[in-house]
Amino acid sequence: MKVGQQVILTGMQPTGKLHLGGLLGAMDNWQKMLGDYDCLFFLANQHAITMPYVPAALRKNTLDCVAQYIACGLDPKRCKIFLQSHIIGHTELMWILGCITPIGQLERMTQFKDKSKKVGESIYSGLLYYPVLMMADILLYNAHLIPIGEDQKQHLEITRDIAQKFNNIYSETFVLPEPYIGKTGARIMSLQDPTIKMSKSDKNQNAVLYITDSDDVVRKKIMGAVTDSDSKISFDQKNKPGIANLLNIYAAATNQSIEASVAEFANLTSYTPFKRAIADVIIAKISPIRNKYLEIVDDKEYLLSVLNEGKEEAQKRANKMMAKVYRKVGFLID
Ligand code: TYM
């Protein structure tokens, strides 16, 4: 099969403003694949209700997220952008896959364990089922390559396991998807505690850099990033996690290796010029994105039209796969 025919599929939860982790770990890689693959990008709004949330905010964030996708370079003329809940098939396939997914395997998922701790007593089954819905998202479209950050790798592994299991039980049906994880940017850490992932739910908002942050705010957050008492720029994840995170950010933003980035700053004897250089690169990267985002975010009609176009194509493909799956599992099709 030619690369151009291979399906790339990935998504993001529309839970708020896009941060640097989502930009460098996800969106940047997605954007590079346009033109070379058959690209499907969706908004995982059904995943977004597995944690406590506010419906009105989810509604607003959904259209904001479409605007962010487009602002980051996902040109709707070159890919399909759609909303998970618009398509009949994701939850239907989830149910069928759930019927061959061991509970123990779901309970062992790192993300389930981490998020369960956050919600305390009220752990609902949607959180446990989260990876099964993700399997359905991927397998419904026979996707070959799934661009994700490090944190989603385990969910891809379980998807492959269950797809293989389905193929063994019901005969060859699903393509086994491969993860695509960028060499840099796959795990951007908090600017205030570089041992934890950058996340929009962080209580300390200085730890998170958003694509909507003004140039001044970007500079302030980078200059205030936690480092160490040394002054040497080297990549040492264990002993210098702050510097390692900044090097990773720099390497991903400039499209070069960590080694090349370290070499660029090898002669510095203080962290200040290093941080200044990172702030410059990030400002240059996100300011056009922010401007494009601001230009389209209030154009509800346009954003809905993008989703509707995506829906039409995605639903066609989903119908085809669901007819095949229903036949295999013994459901009558009218
Ligand atoms: P979500 O919305 O948490 O994140 C979207 C993408 O951004 C990556 N990411 C990061 N990468 C680097 N550093 C970070 N700090 C960082 N934070 C987030 C994530 O790895 C992800 O690739 N379950 C998924 C959405 C989803 C999905 C799917 C993805 C649902 N179904 C099917 C691929 C295929 C999620 O919640 O991503």
User: Cα dihedral angle (204, 265, 28, 6), rounded to 10 degrees?
Assistant: -130
Residues 244, 236: contact at Cβ < 8 Å?
Answer: yes
Q: Locate the domains of the chain by residue range.
A: 7-185+300-329, 205-294
Q: Is the pLDDT of residue 246 over 80?
A: yes
Mean pLDDT of the region 7-19: 95
Q: How confident is the model at residue 149 (pLDDT cuts 50, 70, 90)?
A: confident
- Which atom belonging to ligand 1 lies closest to the Cα atom of 47? 30
Q: How far, in Å, is the centroid of ligand 1 from the Cα of 74?
A: 16
* Residue nearest ligand 1's atom 1 by CA: 12
Same fold, 7-185+300-329 and 205-294: no
Which is nearest to 328 in space by CA: 111, 19, 38, 100? 100
Dihedral-angle region of residue 194 (phi above 0 means left; psi in -120 to 50 means alpha; beta otherwise): alpha
Q: Among 249, 195, 200, 187, which Cα is nearest to 222's?
A: 249
Q: Which of 294, 218, 289, 283 is nearest to 64 (CA)?
A: 294
Instruction: Give the closest residue to 149 by CA, choosing from 263, 62, 20, 274.
Output: 20
Q: Is 115 a catalytic residue?
A: yes
- 327 pLDDT exceeds 70? yes
The response to whether residue 27 sits with its C-beta less than 6 Å from ligand 1 reads no
258-265 and 241-254 helices cross at what angle (nearest 10)?
110
- For the stretch 155-205, pLDDT in tens is 999 999 999 999 999 999 999 999 999 888 889 999 999 999 999 889 999
Reported as a pLDDT band with limits 50, 70 and 90, residue 120 is confident
Q: Whose CA is nearest to atom 22 of ligand 1?
A: 148
Does ligand 1 come within 6 angstroms of the Cβ of 158? no
Give 7-185+300-329's CATH code, choosing from 3.40.50.620, 3.40.50.300, 3.30.9.10, 2.60.40.1180.
3.40.50.620
- Say which CATH topology domain 205-294 has: Tyrosyl-Transfer RNA Synthetase (1.10.240)
The half-sphere exposure of 223 on its side-chain side, counting CA atoms within 13 A, is 11
Residue 255 backbone class (left: φ over 0; alpha: ψ -120 to 50; beta: rest)? left
Say what percent of the chain tops pLDDT 70.
99
Catalytically annotated residue among 200, 232, 292, 324: 200
Q: Of 12-16, 147-151, 303-307, give the lowest mean pLDDT range.
A: 147-151
**Known catalytic residue at 200:** yes
Residue 4 has pLDDT above 70, yes or no: no
pTM: 0.93
